[in-house]
C-alpha cells in the first residue's frame, strides 16, 4: 500500500453506487452533440445520418460522432448553461439530431482488430484518434502510466463498477495504451477498502508483468493528477488513464467503434434514486433523469461530482464527453454564513497544505503581497475547505478569486 495524501476526506461506501450494475444503453428521442466553442461541424441541417457517423470536429480537432441514426434538425450555437456573466458565456457549436425510432445495430467504423499487438504504435494511435477518443499521435509520450481505478468523489462510481463488470476488457485496454506509450511500467491504483475486487484483479493481472496493483487509502481528492503522480511515482512525469478511457481505447482498436457513449452516474435526490448508466453523448439530462415539470426553485442540476461539479440552469443540458455524472439535487449548500471562528478545519483537510481561512481574509482585504506568499495557485479546487467550514464561508471560491488576482485577470 502506498502512502496516501495528507488531509483529504474518505467518504463511506454508502455515498457511492458500487453495488448496482451499469444500466444498458437506451436511445433518446433527440441528441444535442456539442462540438464545444470553436468546433467545426461536417454535417448540415436536413442530413440523414447513420449510427457512428462523424458530425464534426471538436475544439481540439478530435472527430465527434453520433451514436444513433437520425436526421440533423439544426446546427447552431447553444449556451453552455452555466450561470455566469454574459461576457463570459462561451456558446458551444452543437449539432441537433432527431433520432429514428427504430435503431439498427451500430456498425464499426474501422475493421475490428482483436490481435492489436500486431499493429504498430502509430497505427494504434491513429485508430484511437480517428475514433475521437484521444490524440496520442505524439512521439514523446510518457513512459510511466497510472491507471486510475479510484472513485473518491461522491456519488461518482464508474471506475469501480467498470472494474467489477469488465475487468478483462480493461486489461486489454491497459495493454493497448502501454503499447502506444511504449511504456515500461504501469500501475493500477485501487482503493485499499475494495478487498474482494483487489483480489480478483490481482489474479487477472498475474500474467501482466509490467502492471502492478497499488492500493491507496481512498481519500478525495487523491485522484487529482498532481497528487496521484506525487503518491504513485513521486512526481515522475506520467500519464493518467481512467477506466472509461481504457474501455474507449479498447473499443476503438479492437471493435472499431468510435466514442459515442458515456458512462454516467445519475442521481435524483427528489426520488431517492441513484444509478449508473451508459448513455449516448448528446442525450439531455431531463430525459436521462426522467424529469417532469415541477417547481424547481429549490432544486439544482449538477454535472460532475457533488464537490467539484458545476451547476446548470436548464434541464436541456446535454451529456458530453466530460460528463461524469448528472445529479438532480435539493439545495444542500449552507444558506447562511458567519465570520471565521479560527477552527482550523480547512487547514487540516486541505490536501495541498494551504491555509484557506488566511487566504480568504487576505483576498477580502486586498493584501496581494501576503497572498502571493501563501501560494493560492497550488489550490486543486477540490472544494473540501468549503465543505468542512462550520461558518459556511465560500473558501474555495475566494481562493479562485485570489488566483485570478495574482494572474492579473482581476
| Interface with another protein (CB under 8 A) | 6, 83, 154, 226, 230, 235, 296-302, 306-315, 327, 329, 331-334, 336, 338-345, 347-348, 352-355, 357-358, 360-361, 364, 370, 373-375, 378, 383-384, 386-394, 396-397
339/408 with CB nearer another protein: 339
Task: Quote the least distance from Cβ 80 to another protein, whole Å.
Answer: 13
- Closest distance between another protein and the C-beta of residue 55, in Å? 28
83 vs 199 by CB, closer to another protein: 83
Decide whether 163 or 389 has the Cβ nearer to another protein: 389
How far is it, in rounded angstroms, from Cα 151 to Cα 319? 20
Which is closer to another protein, CB of 135 or CB of 370? 370
DSSP H or E segment with residue 93: strand 92-99
Least distance to another protein, CB of residue 186, Å = 23
Q: Are strands 310-312 and 325-330 parallel, antiparallel or unpaired?
A: unpaired
In whole angstroms, how close is the CB of 280 to another protein at the nearest point?
23
Give me the least distance between CB of 285 and another protein, in Å please: 10
The count of C-alpha atoms lying within 13 angstroms of the C-alpha of 56, restricted to the half-sphere facing its C-beta, is 26
How many other CB atoms are found less than 10 A from the CB of residue 311? 16
Write down the residue that cell numbers 475494495 correspond to.
Answer: 194
- Strand, helix or coil at 167? helix
Which among 158, 54, 151 has a CA at the least distance from the CA of 110? Answer: 54
Strand, coil or helix: 369:
helix
Are 184 and 46 in contact, with CB atoms under 8 Å apart?
no
SS3 147: strand
Which CB, 99 or 398, lies closer to another protein? Answer: 398
Reference 392, options 324, 336, 308, 326; nearest CA is 336
Q: With respect to another protein, which residue has the nearer C-beta, 184 or 341? A: 341
| Minimum distance from residue 99 beta carbon to another protein (Å) | 25
Say which DSSP state 52 is in: T
* Least distance from another protein to the Cβ atom of residue 324, Å: 14
- Least Å distance between CB 376 and another protein? 11
Choose between 129 and 387: whose C-beta lies nearer to another protein: 387
Residue whose entry in the numeric block shows the C-alpha cell 480568504:
360
Q: Please, which residue, 252 or 327, has the CB nearer to another protein?
A: 327
Residues 6+ apart with CB under 8 A from 327: 155, 265, 266, 267, 268, 269, 301, 302, 303, 306, 309
Amino acid at each position: 500500500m502506498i502512502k496516501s495524501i495528507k488531509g483529504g476526506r474518505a467518504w463511506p461506501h454508502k455515498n457511492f453506487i458500487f453495488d448496482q450494475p451499469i444500466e444498458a444503453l437506451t436511445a433518446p428521442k433527440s441528441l444535442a452533440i456539442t462540438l464545444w466553442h470553436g468546433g467545426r461541424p461536417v454535417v448540415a441541417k436536413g442530413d440523414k445520418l447513420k449510427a457512428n457517423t462523424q458530425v464534426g470536429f471538436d475544439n481540439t480537432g478530435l472527430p465527434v460522432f453520433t451514436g444513433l441514426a437520425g436526421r440533423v434538425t439544426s446546427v447552431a450555437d447553444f449556451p453552455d448553461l452555466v450561470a455566469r456573466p454574459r461576457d463570459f458565456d462561451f456558446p458551444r457549436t452543437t449539432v441537433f439530431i432527431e433520432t429514428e425510432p427504430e435503431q439498427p445495430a451500430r456498425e464499426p467504423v474501422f475493421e475490428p482488430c482483436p490481435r492489436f499487438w500486431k499493429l504498430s504504435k502509430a497505427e494504434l494511435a491513429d485508430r484511437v484518434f480517428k475514433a475521437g477518443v484521444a490524440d496520442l499521435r505524439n512521439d514523446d509520450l510518457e513512459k510511466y502510466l497510472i491507471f486510475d481505478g479510484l472513485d473518491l468523489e461522491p456519488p461518482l462510481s464508474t471506475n469501480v463498477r467498470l472494474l467489477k463488470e469488465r475487468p478483462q476488457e480493461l486489461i486489454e485496454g491497459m495493454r493497448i495504451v502501454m503499447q502506444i506509450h511504449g511504456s515500461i511500467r504501469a500501475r493500477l491504483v485501487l482503493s485499499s477498502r475494495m478487498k474482494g475486487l483487489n483480489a480478483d484483479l490481482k489474479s487477472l493481472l498475474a500474467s501482466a508483468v509490467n502492471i502492478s496493483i497499488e492500493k491507496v487509502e481512498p481519500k478525495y481528492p487523491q485522484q487529482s493528477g498532481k497528487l496521484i503522480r506525487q503518491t504513485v511515482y513521486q512526481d515522475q512525469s506520467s500519464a493518467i488513464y481512467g477506466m472509461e478511457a481504457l474501455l474507449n481505447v479498447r473499443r476503438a482498436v479492437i471493435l472499431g467503434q468510435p466514442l459515442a457513449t458515456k458512462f454516467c452516474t445519475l442521481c435524483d435526490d427528489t426520488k431517492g434514486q441513484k444509478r449508473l448508466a451508459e448513455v449516448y453523448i448528446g442525450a439531455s439530462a431531463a430525459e436521462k433523469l426522467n424529469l417532469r415539470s415541477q417547481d424547481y426553485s429549490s432544486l439544482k442540476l449538477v454535472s460532475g461530482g457533488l464537490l467539484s461539479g458545476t451547476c446548470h440552469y436548464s434541464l436541456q443540458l446535454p451529456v458530453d464527453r466530460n460528463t461524469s455524472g448528472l445529479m438532480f439535487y435539493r439545495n444542500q449548500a449552507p444558506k447562511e454564513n458567519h465570520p471565521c471562528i479560527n477552527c482550523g478545519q480547512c487547514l487540516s483537510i486541505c490536501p495541498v497544505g494551504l491555509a484557506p481561512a488566511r487566504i480568504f481574509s487576505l483576498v477580502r482585504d486586498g493584501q496581494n503581497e501576503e497572498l502571493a506568499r501563501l501560494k493560492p495557485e497550488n489550490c486543486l479546487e477540490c472544494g473540501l475547505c468549503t465543505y468542512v467550514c462550520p461558518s459556511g464561508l465560500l473558501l474555495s471560491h475566494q481562493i479562485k478569486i485570489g488566483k485570478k488576482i495574482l494572474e492579473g485577470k482581476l
